[in-house]
A and B are shown apart, each in its own frame.
Chain A
Amino acid sequence: MPETRGGWLPVAPDLLVVTVGLLVAVVLFPLRFLTGQLFIQVLPPLVGIACLVYLFARYRDTEYRRAFEQRQLGVDGRVAAGLTVLGIGGLALVGATQGGRTVPFLAASGIVGSAILAQIVLLDDEALNPGLVLLQILGLAVVVRYTALLTTPGLVGVDSWTHLTEYAAAIRSEDSLTAIADVKYRTAPLFHVLVVVAADALGVGLRGATYASLGLALPLATLLCYATANLLFEQRWALLSAAVFATSDHVVRWGVHIIPTSMGLVFFVGALAGATRLLGGDTRASSYLLVAVFGVATALTHQISAFILLVVLGVGAVVQLLAPVLPGDGSRSGALWPLFLLETGVVVGLWSITPYRDSVFITELIDTVQRSLATSVGFLNLAGPAPSTGGEAASGGAGTPITIAFADALGFFTLFFAVVLGGVALCRRRNASPAVLTYAVAAGVLAVFTFGLPLFGFNTFLPGRWYAFMYVPMAVVAAAGCRFAVRHCSPRTAMAGLLLFALVLPGAMAINHKGTPDNPVFDEEFVTYAYDDSELAAVETVRTTRSDAADPIYTDHPYRTVFERTGAAPANMLAVEDGEITHDTVVYRQYQSSGAPVIMVDNTSRTRQVSPTEVCRPSMHRLYTNGDVTVCTGIDGIDGT
């Protein structure tokens, strides 16, 4: 079939991209001999294989579209939908009876996710009811998130404690935003205001209000992902995008660890929906307004989210500028550059008045970037945790057995393969348009920020926070990859590939430790960022009964963050030096002997289990206990009675 006109490139753009992809794969391949980093081991070969698969399918030069459409594998989607809906109900029961997202729950959620993806790829056009499939995707998303939220006492994660128990609580008690006048959220208070308003309106606490409002809004953002993809592709592939987005590990992560990043993600998807309208030719003021409103909302919610949106809008603007040399007809597209300038102006303006440490946010950011460039940047300078852990406090990774690390990242690798395939396919002249090219390039650029910069030891932009945002264009582009497979591979090959994708992706994403901070599957390798009733009772008792003059306490990370962020006590990380723990006041919890506590070992933070008597030494006073948690102090100054 002849290629459509468009673009001044002398060669087919998809071939140019696939050549670059193969070159990147070949150049990066030897890095595996320099570092044991899993992503460096896996991603280059994955890029290479995906490019070769693309080339192979392309040069068969056979259109299988009709063959796939005539497969007659399903005639009535309602039976499959009914069974899957029953599965979702059963999944909720499993979660409630097991008291959380246990391994059986996650396995069952993977099966239900696979059932949904299978419907999307297998059912005939007539049998595929988008409303029914969306209902299932939303049902699964809600059950997975709320099982974690409702079965976990307290809050999930680290930052959530600060945002709710410190910032939102202060605003609520003072009925004013002046309560957070000294922190960087003074100019980005939308999250906190929404939570406070919801709490007052519902008559519940801040935790309940957060879960009832944003806890519901986050899975509903899947509708925006579907709507966005539906502006680019047929319903089947839009549904696939939505399903991939809703079940992705980092997207689930921000649905259970609900902080301004979560809200920023919703606005980000909204802005992309508007931008896609614009790029698709809807140049009415409404579309511009939509992007502008979501852009400003993002800036008023979360600094990193705003920066990521800025990057994507910048990508879109550049793609439009390059439209004459790129494939596809961009003459009908609305202009993104005014929105990019507007967002830049809003972000720079807000950051210039945002208090941060002893300065303003933008000055501190520039200083931090300069400091990073001067001190820690260097090729393969993988300072701190692996890119997969996102530059946050050590949470497993470095000493994790390769099999566990691979199983943990399998979902991402599966998605990444489909994304490379789709990214190249979207560059083909017949498929290209400014909108799809923006998504393909945005997925690549966000991947550079997420993986590329940390490769050089540059973690200033907190790459771990970029994943969920990157998953939006990745979900769209992966759907394009699946569509390419259907159209250019034989029905048998395409079906096998898509079934593998449907079987692997939901389950593998479900068990990733980033999506299960409340109860990771590999709980001795990855940190649990949630606490049981005993652990929270101890924090509360320390908070209400501790003398202000008392020494700081020492305990594991992340438990110490709850003491600090709830104002219970100043808390530091336990440190083992020369094989001993010698602090005066320590807090031991059973998790330190059975989970993945992070402590300092010879001045390096790492995951290490310790025994009860290592922490609460027999020579110490044992002054508090609730069975699971014990507070001990040294005996200095005891003179008897």
Chain B
Amino acid sequence: MSDRTVRSSSVGAPSLRGALDIAFAVLFALLGAVVLSLQPGLSFVVRGALVLPLLLVVPGYAVVAALFPGAHGTPTGGVVDPTLVERLGLAVGLSIAIVPAVGMVVDAVWSLTLVPVLDGVAAVTIAAGVVALVRRTRLPVAERFRATAALQSVFIGARDRPKTQLFLLAAVLLSVVAIGASGVVATTDDGQGVTEFYLTTEGPDGEQVLATNETIGNESVHGLVVHNPDAPRSSYTVVARTGVITASGVSDRQTLGQTTVTAGPDGTARTTYDLDLERDERPLVLTYLLYENEPPAEPTRGQAVRWLRVQIE
């Protein structure tokens, strides 16, 4: 049968069965635009299920449907339309081009906000869907792309050897569960947090800033900060020690005092240390030792969880 014979045979009205994919794409784009415009308190999973297809597949799919209305394997005019896989690949590529392109247009005439962008994406999808529907209708029924038929062809042979099929299904399900669980594990905070210990001084505008070599030497009050957002309301002990710097190292170490501080709900504890050095020896080294528990009788850097050091000449 020649192409011409086929073409003249059964060109007819659009059927829902032959345009389910287009209808679904259009409805999905509309649903996404409406739901996200209303901004209900959706969970991340529901929001993701709605948004990701809208950004990555739907508009591109509608455009591909408009560009290539024919089915693969039924040469139209000597050329072959894309397979389902090619359509999906092109849909992803075109979608991530269409969405930001709509964003650029929206930015040029309005401001780059979500609702007009989603409305624009829905408009492009609807327009492409209408074109796709019209172009499909102009083709003979047998030559039209039908997503259902394409999907059915993917599962050809699935009923052969049911045990093998069962094994494959079980493997896919197990793998999906494993990947999902891995994603949860990978994104779950281990709760350990990072304990930061640093010294602040008064900055030019009176606020406390991270100490620098310019600011610290002239300060008589040192601000000490302990921060671990994963450990709110934790208690720490800060021990201040001095020693005299000599040619052979540090000698004559003494404990000047210790302070116990408790972190607030944000995990931050602050204290100040008023330097009142009675020792005349110079240069001195002043060490702040941080402990999460009670400090030992003779505190050293090795036992402390963190330590800071300031040299005083």
Complex CA–CA separation, A619 to B310 (angstroms): 9
Complex CA–CA separation, A155 to B67 (angstroms): 38
How many chain A residues sit at the interface, stated as a range, is 35 or more
In the complex, what residues of A have CB within 8 A of residue B194's CB? 533-534, 537, 626-628
In the complex, what residues of A have CB within 8 A of residue B216's CB? 621, 623, 633, 638
Complex CA–CA separation, A551 to B213 (angstroms): 9
User: Count of B residues near A, CB < 8 Å?
Assistant: 98
Contact between B114 and A201 (Cβ–Cβ < 8 Å)?
A: yes
In the complex, what residues of B have CB within 8 A of residue A640's CB? 217, 277, 282, 284, 312-313
Complex CA–CA separation, A281 to B80 (angstroms): 9
Contact between A226 and B85 (Cβ–Cβ < 8 Å)?
A: yes
Known: A78-B164, A88-B175, A284-B79. A151 touches B186 (CB 8 A): yes
A136 to chain B, nearest CB (A): 10
In the complex, what residues of B have CB within 8 A of residue A95's CB? 182, 186
Complex CA–CA separation, A40 to B72 (angstroms): 46
Contact between A197 and B55 (Cβ–Cβ < 8 Å)?
A: yes
In the complex, what residues of A have CB within 8 A of residue B272's CB? none
Stretch of B7-15, B138-146, B202-210, B254-262 lying at the A interface = B202-210
Instruction: Tell me whether B122 is interfacial, beta carbon within 8 Å.
Output: no
Complex CA–CA separation, A474 to B93 (angstroms): 21
Contact between A227 and B313 (Cβ–Cβ < 8 Å)?
A: no
Contact between B185 and A97 (Cβ–Cβ < 8 Å)?
A: yes
Contact between A200 and B114 (Cβ–Cβ < 8 Å)?
A: yes
In the complex, what residues of A have CB within 8 A of residue B195's CB? 626-627
In the complex, what residues of B have CB within 8 A of residue A580's CB? none
Instruction: Tell me whether A579 is interfacial, beta carbon within 8 Å.
Output: no
In the complex, what residues of A have CB within 8 A of residue B311's CB? 619-621, 635, 638
Q: Pick the contact of A78: B90, B154, B167 (CB < 8 A).
A: B167
B28 to chain A, nearest CB (A): 14
Which residues 128-145 of B have a CB within 8 angstroms of A? none
Complex CA–CA separation, A213 to B83 (angstroms): 24
Nearest to B68 among chain A residues (CB) is A286
Instruction: Tell me whether A602 is interfacial, beta carbon within 8 Å.
Output: no
Known: A85-B171, A189-B104, A269-B93. A96 touches B309 (CB 8 A): no
B40 to chain A, nearest CB (A): 11
- With most chain A CB atoms within 10 A of its CB, the pick from B54, B103, B157 is B103
Contact between B171 and A83 (Cβ–Cβ < 8 Å)?
A: yes
Instruction: Tell me whether B4 is interfacial, beta carbon within 8 Å.
Output: no
- With most chain B CB atoms within 10 A of its CB, the pick from A204, A222, A538, A637 is A637
Instruction: Tell me whether A482 is interfacial, beta carbon within 8 Å.
Output: no
Complex CA–CA separation, A469 to B237 (angstroms): 57
In the complex, what residues of A have CB within 8 A of residue B78's CB? 281, 332
Instruction: Tell me whether A455 is interfacial, beta carbon within 8 Å.
Output: no
In the complex, what residues of B have CB within 8 A of residue A294's CB? 93-94, 97
In the complex, what residues of B have CB within 8 A of residue A191's CB? 100
Which residues 106-151 of B have a CB within 8 angstroms of A? 107, 111-114, 117-118
A505 to chain B, nearest CB (A): 22
Complex CA–CA separation, A533 to B178 (angstroms): 26
Q: Pick the contact of B312: A147, A212, A585, A638 (CB < 8 A).
A: A638
Complex CA–CA separation, A638 to B186 (angstroms): 47
Complex CA–CA separation, A637 to B111 (angstroms): 51
Nearest to B88 among chain A residues (CB) is A223
Instruction: Tell me whether A289 is interfacial, beta carbon within 8 Å.
Output: yes
Nearest to A225 among chain B residues (CB) is B89
Instruction: Tell me whether B17 is interfacial, beta carbon within 8 Å.
Output: no
Q: What 1/0 flags go to B42-66 for Cβ under 8 Å of A?
A: 0010011001101110000000000
Contact between B44 and A221 (Cβ–Cβ < 8 Å)?
A: no
Instruction: Tell me whether B165 is interfacial, beta carbon within 8 Å.
Output: yes
Contact between B306 and A549 (Cβ–Cβ < 8 Å)?
A: no
Q: Pick the contact of A131: B154, B179, B209 (CB < 8 A).
A: B154
Residues of B within 8 A of A (CB): 36, 44, 47-48, 51-52, 54-56, 67-68, 77-80, 82-83, 85-86, 88-90, 92-94, 96-97, 99-101, 103-104, 107, 111-114, 117-118, 154, 157, 161, 164-165, 167-168, 170-172, 174-179, 181-183, 185-187, 193-200, 203-204, 208-220, 227, 275, 277, 282, 284, 305-313
22 interchain pairs, CB-CB under 8 A: A82-B172, A99-B186, A130-B85, A139-B179, A194-B103, A200-B113, A201-B54, A216-B56, A227-B89, A270-B90, A282-B79, A533-B193, A541-B227, A545-B208, A622-B309, A623-B216, A625-B198, A633-B213, A635-B213, A635-B217, A640-B312, A641-B218
Nearest 3 CB-CB pairings of A with B:
A89-B175, A223-B89, A89-B178
